[in-house]
Amino acid sequence: MHMLNFILLQASQNLTEGAKAVGKAVQPEGVVTGFFDMAMKGGPLMIPIVLLSFVAVFIFFDRYVAIRKAGKVDSRLLNRVREYILDGKIESAFTLCRSENTPTSRMIEKGISRIGRPMADVTTAIENVGNLEVYKLEKGLPVLASVAGGAPMIGFLGTVTGMISAFYDMANAGNNIDITLLSSGIYQAMVTTVAGLIVGIVAYFAYNILVTNVEKVVFNMEAATSDFMDMLNEPAK
């Protein structure tokens, strides 16, 4: 019985050592074993691609939060402003708009400050404030669009330089061509292309999401402006 256990134990150890030996033989030296190792194979051009990815992520979250905040407007704002103006409480209307602290409230605040002047002056003042508010909301979007277009281009540049490196190594090898000589150039070509496309695609969708949200905020601003001008044109009761 003891002899049988000893034989089984020895056989198990032999199988384990054999599996380890096979594993070492199957996994050659220099093989890529992780995402970080794969990224490192992309070469120096991976640095700007990674930096562009960080820039895209920062701009997206920064603008997304700002745009969402700008789009939150109290639906009772215009009604309360109308009540204050009809009661002659202009200062209270100013205070209400300042407390809201949104692009729409700042436009209405500017319109209130022009009450008593020609309607064309009121409209112009509101439009000027609206243009400034839209500019603030779109801050950083051109950079995000540049990332969406620039990251894939850098990736393609890595493809070209990687293939040049691979052919250069092939030419120097002469008749002694070894696949390991070409691996670094091919890795650079493929990895930079994939990384650039991933960053570009994500930045492209992020840009369109932000543009869509800005358009919604602008629509709400225009609707509020129209209601405010209609309120000023209402006949006195």
How high is the pLDDT of residue 174? 63
Q: Give the distance, in angstroms, between the CA of residue 31 and the centroid of all CA atoms in the same chain.
A: 33
60, two tokens? 């997206």
How far from 20 is each of 14, 26, 30, 199, CA to CA, in Å?
A: 10, 10, 18, 39
How high is the pLDDT of residue 170? 67
The per-residue pLDDT for range 108-119, each reduced to its tens digit, is 888 888 888 888
Q: Which of 11-15, 22-26, 167-171, 193-197 has the lowest mean pLDDT?
A: 22-26
Find the mean pLDDT for residues 196-214: 94
Tokens 């670094």 locate to: 184
CA distance 170 to 185: 10
How high is the pLDDT of residue 198? 93
Tokens 């493929």 locate to: 190
The per-residue pLDDT for range 36-77, each reduced to its tens digit, is 565 566 677 888 999 999 999 999 999 999 999 888 877 788
φ and ψ of 158, to 5 deg: -65, -35
Query: Is residue 226 over pLDDT 80?
Result: yes
Query: Is residue 12 over pLDDT 50?
Result: no
User: What is the pLDDT confidence band of residue 208, given thresholds at 50, 70 and 90?
Assistant: very high
Tokens 């930045």 locate to: 203
Which residues are within 8 A (CB) of 144 and not within 5 positions of it... i.e. 6 or more apart? 56, 59, 60, 63, 203, 206, 207, 210
213, two tokens? 């949200």
User: What is the pLDDT confidence band of residue 35, given thresholds at 50, 70 and 90?
Assistant: low
How far from 198 is each of 50, 85, 153, 201, CA to CA, in Å?
A: 11, 54, 12, 5
Q: Which residue has the higher pLDDT, 34 or 155?
A: 155
Q: Find out whether 52 and 150 touch, Cβ atoms under 8 Å.
A: yes
Query: Is residue 13 over pLDDT 60?
Result: no
Q: Which of 81-85, 152-156, 186-190, 233-237 has the lowest mean pLDDT?
A: 233-237
Which residues are within 8 A (CB) of 195 and not within 5 positions of it... i.e. 6 or more apart? 39, 42, 46, 49, 50, 151, 155
Q: Give the distance, in angstroms, between the CA of residue 148 and the centroid of all CA atoms in the same chain.
A: 9
149, two tokens? 């277009």
Q: What pTM was computed for the model? A: 0.75
Q: Where are the domains of the chain?
A: 38-231
User: What is the pLDDT confidence band of residue 33, given thresholds at 50, 70 and 90?
Assistant: very low
Query: Is residue 18 over pLDDT 70?
Result: no
